[in-house]
Structure 1
Amino acid sequence: MLLEELWLEDYLNMGMVVGNNPSIQPGVVFDYSHCWLIEIGNNVTIAPEAYLLAHDASSKRLIGFTRIGRVVVEDDVFIGARAIIMPNVTLGKGCIVAAGSVVTKSVTAGDVVAGNPAKVISRVETYINKCQDQLVESRKYDHSYTIRGNISSESKKQMVEELQNNNGFIR
């Protein structure tokens, strides 16, 4: 699902490349001044308020030049909320960037990175296994427990109680 399609269309018209089936959430910022240096693959999720920057002007006052570089997001990547992707970074196929991370170096396919600066904390396979183990013991909820599923006040209260000190999972 593309939010603000006309806005995204402007970036595409200026040369940014976006593959099929992206999920670009509200508040995502693409580097307007160098958006043609940004390439996003297929089946990529970019969570709210993430930044993809193809330039870094911190050097401008120091040496008279702004550093620029490509940002390449390969297929099946997840970029968490408020993550910042800096210039000259490739996010390898299927990697996960945790919320709030600052990515200053390329990420290998299948890695999970977190922090500032972002560092490898896991492999996606390990993360999947961890989530699957948690899923067995956790509360599970269907679509009716979402805003789009018209969650009831009663169901909201139920979730608050059930998730007091636990994680849950929603379909």
Structure 2
Amino acid sequence: MIIRRMMTFVKVRMRKYLLDEIWLEDYVKMGMKIGENCSIQPGVVFDYTHCWLIKIGNNVTIAPQAYLLAHDASTKNLINMTKIGAITIEDGVFIGARALIMPGVTIGSNSIIGAGSVVTKSIPAGSIAVGNPAKVVSSVEAYLEKSRSLLKMSKNYDVTYTHMGNITALNKNKMYEELLDEIGFVV
């Protein structure tokens, strides 16, 4: 097990250098700020050319393939200048997969940005914003209340229904069949 981990570590490091991959530590070295206890999933793209304009608070989750762009080059050909702006992601924010955060945006603490949303204006704390352009559709408090009600009526699964819990093929099929027409919850 230890040898496998060491081999994986070496392979990943070699890939970084061979493919010239940029890691979070590289962005931090260039000035991007990232708080504690953040979960930044694979494929998230940070604005390499202006990453020092990005500040991420504590306990933030950013889902796969989200984009945080601190510049907008749409003006480059028109006025020979590129728009730039700071991006601030406050504490406790969740950013869904493939969301796009544009320059000059602050996402208030404990907010949720829906998958695929394009955020062009700041979002107040405790809000849920979705769409293109993203608009506030609910408060997190109302969403939480609705989710708690749904939780009581839905299928609930323990850790044995996850990769970390080594889900079996039988349970994968069972879970799929049970969730064909409804939403469930897993630990």
Q: Same fold (TM over 0.5)?
A: yes
- Residue 46 of structure 1 corresponds to which residue in structure 2? 62
**1:85 and 2:101 equivalent?**
yes
Between the aligned partners of 2:81 and 2:159, the Cα distance in structure 1 is: 50
1:132: which partner in 2? 148
Partners of 2:59 and 2:107 lie apart in 1 by 13
The within-5 A match list for 1:62-73 is 62-73=78-89
Shift of 1:70: 0.1
Q: Which has the higher helix share?
A: 2
Aligned counterparts of 2:180 and 2:62: Cα–Cα separation in 1: 28
* Deviation of 1:149 (Å): 1.4
Q: SS of the residue aligned with 1:144?
A: helix
Please give the root-mean-square deviation of Cα atoms over the aligned residues, in Å.
Answer: 1.3
Q: Which amino acid aligns with 2:132?
A: N
Aligned twin of 2:170: 154
Q: Percent identity?
A: 61
Q: Which structure 1 residue ranges, 4+ long, deviate > 3 Å from structure 2?
A: none
> How many angstroms does 1:146 deviate by?
1.0
* Structure 1 residue 68, shift from structure 2 partner: 0.2
Unaligned regions of 5+ residues in structure 2, if any? 1-12, 14-21
Q: How far off is 1:63 after superposition?
A: 1.1
**Following the alignment from structure 2 to structure 1, what is the Cα–Cα distance between the partners of residues 126 and 141?**
8
TM-score (norm 1): 0.96
**Superposed, which structure 2 residues align to 1:1-171 within 5 Å?**
7-171=23-187
State the Cα distance separating 1:44 from its structure 2 match. 0.2
Residue identity in the other structure for 2:143: Y
Count the aligned residue pairs: 168
Structure 1: which 5+ runs fail to align?
none
Shift of the alpha carbon at 1:24? 0.1
Question: Which of 147-156 and 120-129 deviates more?
Answer: 147-156
SS of corresponding position for 1:48: coil
CA distance in 1, matches of 2:104, 2:31: 17
How much does 1:119 deviate?
Answer: 0.3
Query: 1:59-91, CA deviations, whole angstroms, 9 ceiling, x for partnerless residues?
Result: 101111100000000000000000000000000
Partner of 2:6: none
Q: Secondary structure at the match of 1:60?
A: helix
CA distance in structure 2 between the aligned counterparts of 1:143 and 1:82, rounded to whole angstroms? 27
